[in-house]
Chain A
Amino acid sequence: MISSDVLLATLVLAPLIGFFINGLRFRSSDCQTAGIIASGAAIISFITSVVLTLRLVALPKDGRQITAHFFDWMLVGDFSAQVSFLVDPISAIMILVVTGVGSLIHIFSIGYMSHDARPAKYFAYLNLFLFNMLLLVLGDNLLIMFVGWEGVGLCSYLLIGFWFTDKEKAAAGMKAFITNRIGDAGFLLGIFTLFFAFGTVNFAELAARMPEVAEVGWTGPIALACLFLFIGATGKSAQIPLYVWLPDAMAGPTPVSALIHAATMVTAGVYMIVRMSHVFVLAPNVMMLIAVVGALTALLAALIGFTQNDIKKVLAYSTVSQLGFMFLGVGVGAFMPAMFHLMTHAFFKALMFLGSGSVIHAMHEEQDIRKMGGLAKKMPITHGTFLIGWLAIIGIPPFAGFFSKDEILWYTMAGKMGHPLLWLIGALAAIGTAFYMTRLMALVFWGESRVDSKVHPHEAPLNMTIPLIILAVLSLVGGWVGIPHALAQFIPGHPPHLLGDWIKPALVPLDLEAGPVVLELILMLVSVVLASVSAWFAYDSYLKNKARPTEIKERLGKAYDIVANKYYVDEFYFGKIINPLVGLSKGLWAYVDVNFIDKTTYFLADLVQGGGRALRSLHNGNLQQYAMYIVVGLLLALFYVLY
Chain B
Amino acid sequence: MDVKFSLLDLWVVSPLIALFLFSIIPLTVKVFNENREGNPFVTMSIGLLGVILATGLIGTYKDISGIYFQDALVIDGASVWLGFLIMGVTAVTLIFSRENMATRNRHFSEFVFLLLNAAIGMLVVVWSNDLIIAFIGIEMMSLCLYVLIALSSEERLSKESAFKYFVLSSFASAVLLYGLAFIYGLAGTTYLHELVNRAPDLMGHNLLFTLGVVLAAVGLAFKVALVPFHAWAADVYQGAPTPITAFMATGVKAVSFALFLRVVLAEVMVSPESQGLVHFLQWLAVLTMLVGNIAAISQSHFKRMLAYSSVAHSGYVMMGLIAAGMAGPMGDLAIRSVLYYVTVYAVMTLGAFGVISLMEKRSESSIHIEDLRGMAQRNPWVALFIAIFMLGLAGIPPTVGFFGKLYVFTAALDQKLYWLVFWGVVSSAIGLYYYLRPIVVMYMEEQGEGADAVSSRQLTSFTVAMTALLVLFAGILF
Which residues of A pack against B, CB within 8 Å?
71, 73, 76-77, 605, 608-609, 611-613, 615-616, 618-619, 621, 623, 625-627, 629-630, 632-634, 637-638, 640-642
Contacts and interface: CB of A to CB of B under 8 A. Distances in A.
Nearest to A605: B433
B218 A634 contact: yes
A612 B431 CA distance: 12
B172 interface: yes
Given A621-B235, A623-B164, A641-B210, A630 B298 contact: no
B231 A634 contact: no
27 contacts: A608-B294, A609-B297, A611-B294, A612-B294, A612-B295, A615-B294, A615-B298, A619-B231, A619-B295, A621-B235, A623-B163, A623-B164, A623-B168, A626-B235, A627-B168, A629-B229, A629-B231, A630-B229, A633-B218, A633-B221, A634-B175, A637-B280, A640-B276, A641-B210, A642-B207, A642-B214, A642-B276
A627 B171 contact: yes
B214 A616 contact: no
Contacts of A626: 164, 168, 231-232, 235
B214 A641 contact: yes
Interface string B220-240: 011000001101101100000
Nearest to B204: A641
Contacts of A623: 163-164, 167-168
Contacts of B406: 76
A252 to B, nearest CB: 29
B168 A641 contact: no
B274 interface: yes
A630 B433 CA distance: 29
- 9 closest Cβ pairs, A-B complex: A612-B298, A641-B276, A612-B297, A626-B231, A615-B295, A633-B228, A629-B228, A611-B294, A640-B280
A76 B403 CA distance: 11
Contacts of A621: 235
A71 B234 CA distance: 41
A638 B168 contact: no
Contacts of B299: 616
Nearest to B233: A619
B13 to A, nearest CB: 34
Given A608-B297, A612-B297, A633 B229 contact: yes
A608 B291 contact: no
Contacts of B295: 612, 615-616, 619
A432 B394 CA distance: 59
B297 A76 contact: no
B207 A637 contact: no
B430 interface: yes
A77 B333 CA distance: 9
The A interface is mostly helix, strand or loop, or mixed, namely helix
A630 B228 contact: yes
A613 B280 CA distance: 26
Contacts of A641: 210, 214, 274, 276-277, 280
B72 to A, nearest CB: 29
B381 to A, nearest CB: 15
Given A615-B298, A629-B231, 9 more contacts: A73-B476, A612-B294, A612-B297, A616-B295, A634-B175, A638-B214, A641-B210, A641-B276, A642-B210
Contacts of B214: 637-638, 641-642
Contact of B167 (A73, A76, A613, A627): A627
A370 B274 CA distance: 89
Contacts of B229: 629-630, 633
A384 to B, nearest CB: 50
Contacts of A73: 476-477
A619 B297 contact: no
Contacts of A612: 294-298
Nearest to B403: A74
Given A621-B235, A630-B229, A609 B298 contact: yes
A387 B363 CA distance: 78
B279 interface: yes
Interface of B: 163-164, 167-168, 171-172, 175, 207, 210-211, 214-215, 217-218, 221-222, 228-229, 231-232, 234-235, 274, 276-277, 279-280, 283, 291, 294-299, 406, 410, 430, 433, 476-477
Nearest to A633: B228
Contacts of B298: 609, 612-613, 615-616
Contacts of B211: 638, 642
Contacts of A616: 295, 298-299
Contacts of B210: 641-642
Nearest to A640: B280
Nearest to B475: A74
A11 B39 CA distance: 50
Given A605-B433, A612-B295, A638-B211, A632 B276 contact: no
B301 to A, nearest CB: 11
B164 A630 contact: no
A595 B199 CA distance: 57
B303 to A, nearest CB: 14
B30 to A, nearest CB: 34
A148 B164 CA distance: 56
Contacts of B218: 630, 633-634, 637
B168 A632 contact: no
Contacts of B172: 630
Of the listed residues B175, B207, B276, B476, the one surrounded by the most CB atoms of chain A closer than 10 A to its CB is: B276
A353 B231 CA distance: 70
A637 B217 CA distance: 9
Nearest to A634: B218
Contacts of B477: 71, 73
A423 to B, nearest CB: 49
A185 to B, nearest CB: 19
Of the listed residues B167, B279, B298, the one surrounded by the most CB atoms of chain A closer than 10 A to its CB is: B298
A74 to B, nearest CB: 8
Contacts of A627: 167-168, 171
Nearest to B297: A612
Contacts of A632: 228
B232 A640 contact: no
Nearest to B283: A640
A618 B227 CA distance: 12
B234 A619 contact: yes
A343 to B, nearest CB: 34
B88 to A, nearest CB: 22
A615 B291 contact: yes
A627 to B, nearest CB: 6
Contacts of A619: 231, 234-235, 295
Of the listed residues A609, A623, A634, A637, the one surrounded by the most CB atoms of chain B closer than 10 A to its CB is: A637
Contacts of B175: 630, 634
A633 B163 CA distance: 22
B277 to A, nearest CB: 5
Contacts of A640: 276, 279-280, 283
Contacts of B221: 633
Contacts of B283: 640
Contacts of B276: 640-642
A78 to B, nearest CB: 13
A641 to B, nearest CB: 4
A608 B297 CA distance: 8
Contacts of B476: 73
A437 to B, nearest CB: 46
A207 B465 CA distance: 45
A2 to B, nearest CB: 25
Contacts of B410: 76-77
A94 B448 CA distance: 56
A518 B283 CA distance: 83
Contacts of A633: 218, 221, 228-229
Of the listed residues B228, B235, B276, B279, the one surrounded by the most CB atoms of chain A closer than 10 A to its CB is: B228
Contacts of A618: 231
A634 B234 CA distance: 20
Nearest to A611: B294
A291 B196 CA distance: 66
